Amino acid sequence: MGLSVIGFDRFLMGFTLGAHILIVTLSISLSLIVSIAEFLAIRKKDPHYEVLSRRLAKALVIFFAVGTASGTVLAVELFTLWPTFMVLIAKVDILPFYYEVFAFFLEAISLVLYVYYWDYFRNRYHHWLLSLFVAIGTVMSAVFITMINAFMNTPSGFNIPAYLASNGSVLIGINPLAAVASPSAFVEVSHVVTATLTAGSFALLTYLAVNYYRSKSAEARDVYRKGINITAIVAFVSIILAGISGDASMRMLMSLQPLKYAAIELNFFHSQANAPELLGGIMINGKPAYYISLPGVQSIIAFLSFNSAQKVPGLLDYPSSLWPPLFVHLTFDTMVGGGILLGLFSLFLFYKVARKRNISGRFMYYGMITAGILAEIIYDAGWVTDEVGRQPWIIYNVMTVNSAANTSPSVIPLGIGIIIFYLIVVPFTFYFTARVLKNESVERQISEVRNRL
Amino acid sequence: MSGAIIEIALNAAIFSMFFAMISSELMAASAIVFRYEESTSKVFKFLVPIWEVTGTFFVFYAVNIEALVPDALPFIAFTFTPYILVFLILYVGRNSAIISAEYIWRNRIISKKMLYRVYAVITYILGLMILIIFTAVISGAGVGFSNNSFNLFSFISFIPDDGFIIGSAVILFGLASVFYDLRVRDYLPIAVIIVGMLVAGPSLLAMHDLTDKYLLIPAAVLTIAPAVLRIFPKYRFIASSKLLIQGFLASSSFLIIFSLYPWLLGRSLKITTLLNSSVMQQQIFYTTIIGGILLLMLTIVFFRVFSHVSQRGMGA
């Protein structure tokens, strides 16, 4: 019974995270794009940008409402499903959670003032400043939460040997600030923030593209075209940064989490130089199959050298009982391969936008829609790689998932309730937001804004 | 030990602020259920901007508890799992209901009024659940700390628990008309609040052998003060200040919590035995001070804008 409850705990946590991710990626990119749009509206006295920021702010507040609720569900699930884990976190690395609360306050109160008192501010830059605070609060929330994840991957800030030797009963040498700045924190935060912005921007691009092509009036098309311009630039910059930080993440894994690195590269050998890069591949009868091998390429990418004598980690250096599920290689390939495709499309779109070229046509239309869907798949694949790649540990080399879990069977019926509830709430949120925006005529909003200007 | 008092006082202060926020929502829920039409002009302009912030205070309190008493987390997790998970479902439902109520378009099936009422009912249930857990932690009735269990039947069977919950609900019901300036006779809120106090006060004394029962006197004065001040035209402006009433409520709640210090669960558990390490407490303290200043500034800006908008007659 114990193991099945643990399995359920894992599923429930993964499911809630997956649902939460869908909402927060959009919240983060929306907060930034709303701020840019309003800034341009004020600078250029452009009613199209003004309408765009007002419409997207409305979407932001809806996503924020549901996102904060699902974020709270996650926060409470953490100590309900993984009490032993949270005890250690609370004693060593609770500060990022604590910092996040204040980022959350900054975001919540600024957003309330920003959306509900839009026309109160005589100086428009004061109002715009609020949007900046919303964006800062949103991004900082992501930063602090990722710091916790970085601690899970590379724990620090306490005497780990003493903790392990005492079977978890002796916790000494606690340094909360060292735990906050765990070895992987900077690189992981960089990658997560840029990847989140990428996924959210492409998802938003899908919405803008659909409305751009469906709009019947030139005015409405102008609003959405300007939205596409801003979002395409944000997406392009963020995907480049995500690529650079992703590369840094892999290098960091090699030194700090070599087994995870070996698993996601499917390195079915002892550590070796001149290692091949495997594209695809699954384990059949204990060996990799159905893959394309590119000889030496992994070492070239890893060490940026054609004849490096340095070795990449291999799975066979570790007992198989400690290996994570090896399907993480496929999720990793999905992330990298999809990311490259997305990057190429983003470059093309950026070129079109920068040169003020026509973006009408089926290729661009379906391209933007596909990119939005692909971005979410890639983003989720990235998180699965990170989380499943750390298994069986919840805190790498310190605490296993099994030892951290709540094994009370009472979790199951109510957990199922939460899952069903999410299956209703998340699609409803997207439908509701789209419907609210659809009900409000762009043309009427433009004429209202013109009257105010 | 003084560091411990400061940490616990901070935790009590955060709970008190959260309590003041959720109370303003519970009062709004009463107004929505019983006087919907009046609510549209008097309640929504305050409720619509602040309900998001209440949720943030809840997270603040939850994280502070994690930081304050980490060794109590397995107890909370195992003991209250079903309540916590139901609470979470309702919490998402509350947010979904009110955000939908704000933006719902005209249609034949779902109306704004219906969604606000759904929100109000969910808020009642959430408030009740918070009060049940809070009361259980004070009295200890039905709670097995050593075996991580909570028996709802034993909890309900202990009459003072019921009295405290009912009395608190009655007090908030009475305060609702003051807080939202609803059209009721001036003496009515005072009478209702006194009835609530006569039920909740003795219940609290029976639930727990308080360390300092005299703290209940200023707590009672602060609770009833807005309703009394409302009678006098000269002081009515004080009773109409939402920030001030919330401050009174938070202070009252803080005094009640501190009258228990350092005991919980009917004097069977000393909270100081569960506290986090001093090095973490120190960091939490600094963070709370810095974050608290940020929060205070944001709150001042919010209420400044809110009062200006109210004076100008602009809707939120």
- Say which DSSP state B61 is in: H
- CB atoms under 10 Å from CB of B89, counted, come to 18
Joined tokens for residue B47: 């409720």
Give the distance from residue B289's alpha carbon to the nearest chain A alpha carbon, in angstroms: 11
Residue type, B260: L
Nearest chain A residue to B275 by CA distance is A91
Q: In this structure, are residues B85 and A417 in contact, taking their beta carbons and an 8 Å threshold?
A: yes
Nearest chain B residue to A404 by CA distance is B74
Residue B122 three-state SS? helix
Check CB contact of A269 with chain B, cutoff 8 Å: no
Which of A394, A385, A415, A423 is closest to A12 using CA atoms? Answer: A415
Q: Which residues of A touch B296 (CB under 8 A)?
A: none
Residue from B22, B48, B63, B110 whose CB has the most chain A CBs within 10 Å, to mutate: B63
Give the distance from residue A400's alpha carbon to the nearest chain B alpha carbon, in angstroms: 17
Q: What is the mean pLDDT of each run of 10 residues along chain B (316 residues)?
A: 80 92 92 90 87 88 90 84 85 89 82 93 94 90 86 93 95 92 89 96 90 93 94 84 91 93 85 86 91 91 84 60
What does each C-alpha distance from A211 to A150, A176, A215, A254, A332 come to in angstroms? 39, 48, 6, 44, 33
The secondary element (H helix, E strand) that includes residue B138 is: helix B112-139
* R_g over Cα of chain B: 20
Residues in CB range of B105: below 8 A, 6 or more apart? A435, A436, A439
> CB B95 to CB A80 under 8 A?
no
**What is the complex's ipTM, to 2 decimals?**
0.88
> CB B52 to CB A87 under 8 A?
no
Residue B164 three-state SS? helix
Residues in CB range of B148: below 8 A, 6 or more apart? B74, B75, B78, B79
> CB A108 to CB B52 under 8 A?
yes
Rounded Cα–Cα distance for residues A147 and A182 (Å): 8
Nearest chain B residue to A427 by CA distance is B96
Of A65, A71, A79, the CB nearest to B77: A79
Joined tokens for residue A116: 């509900």
> If you search the block for the tokens 């751009």, which residue do you land on?
A212
For A23, half-sphere exposure in the C-beta direction (CA atoms, 13 angstrom radius) is 26
Of B276, B290, B298, the CB nearest to A105: B298
Q: What is the pLDDT of residue A1?
A: 46
Give the distance from residue B157's alpha carbon to the nearest chain A alpha carbon, in angstroms: 23
Q: What is the pLDDT of residue A114?
A: 93
User: What's chain A look like in SS3?
Assistant: CHHHHHHHHHHHHHHHHHHHHHHHHHHHHHHHHHHHHHHHHHHHCCHHHHHHHHHHHHHHHHHHHHHHHHHHHHHHHHHHHCHHHHHHHHHHCCHHHHHHHHHHHHHHHHHHHHHHCHHHCCCHHHHHHHHHHHHHHHHHHHHHHHHHHHHHHCCCCCCHHHHHHCCCCCCCCCCHHHHHCCCCHHHHHHHHHHHHHHHHHHHHHHHHHHHHHHCCCHHHHHHHHHHHHHHHHHHHHHHHHHHHHHHHHHHHHHHHCHHHHHHHCCCCCCCECCCCEEEEEEEECCEEEEEEEECCHHHHHHHCCCCCCCCECCHHHCCHHHCCCCCHHHHHHHHHHHHHHHHHHHHHHHHHHHCCCCCCCHHHHHHHHHHHHHHHHHHHHHHHHHHHHCCCEEECCCEEHHHHCCCCCCHHHHHHHHHHHHHHHHHHHHHHHHHHHHHCCHHHHHHHHHHHC
Q: What is the pLDDT of residue B314?
A: 55
- CB atoms under 10 Å from CB of B138, counted, come to 22
For residue A292, list its beta bridge partners. A279
Residues in CB range of B33: below 8 A, 6 or more apart? B117, B120, B121
Joined tokens for residue A354: 């920068």
> CB B56 to CB A101 under 8 A?
yes
> If you search the block for the tokens 């390195």, which residue do you land on?
A267
Which of A283, A255, A273 is closest to A184 using CA atoms? Answer: A255
Give contacts of B 253-312 with A, CB under 8 A. Answer: 276-277, 279-280, 283-284, 287-288, 290-291, 294-295, 298-299, 301-302, 305, 308-309
Q: In this structure, are residues B132 and B165 in contact, taking their beta carbons and an 8 Å threshold?
A: yes
Q: What is the pLDDT of residue A350?
A: 93
Which of B220, B221, B238 is closest to B229 using CA atoms? Answer: B238
First to last CA, chain B: 46
The pTM assigned to this predicted structure is 0.90
Residue type, B2: S
Rounded Cα–Cα distance for residues A139 and A189 (Å): 10
Check CB contact of A449 with chain B, cutoff 8 Å: no
Strands B143-144 and A399-400, bridge-based pairing: unpaired
Check CB contact of A108 with chain B, cutoff 8 Å: yes
Q: What is the pLDDT of residue A408?
A: 82
The secondary element (H helix, E strand) that includes residue B269 is: strand B269-270
Q: Is the peptide bond before B160 cis (omega within 30 degrees of 0)?
A: no
Report residues of chain A scoring pLDDT below 70.
Answer: 1-3, 453
Q: Which residues of B touch A410 (CB under 8 A)?
A: 81-82
For residue B150, list its beta bridge partners. B143
Check CB contact of B99 with chain A, cutoff 8 Å: yes
Of A90, A106, A428, the CB nearest to B70: A90
Q: In this structure, are residues A193 and A146 in contact, taking their beta carbons and an 8 Å threshold?
A: yes
Residues in CB range of B118: below 8 A, 6 or more apart? B93, B97, B101
Rounded Cα–Cα distance for residues B111 and B117 (Å): 10
Q: What is the pLDDT of residue B313?
A: 62
Which of B127, B100, B93 is closest to B114 using CA atoms? Answer: B100
Check CB contact of A412 with chain B, cutoff 8 Å: no
Surface-to-core class of residue A452, CB atoms within 10 Å of its CB (0-12 exposed, 13-18 middle, 19+ buried): exposed
The secondary element (H helix, E strand) that includes residue B144 is: strand B143-144
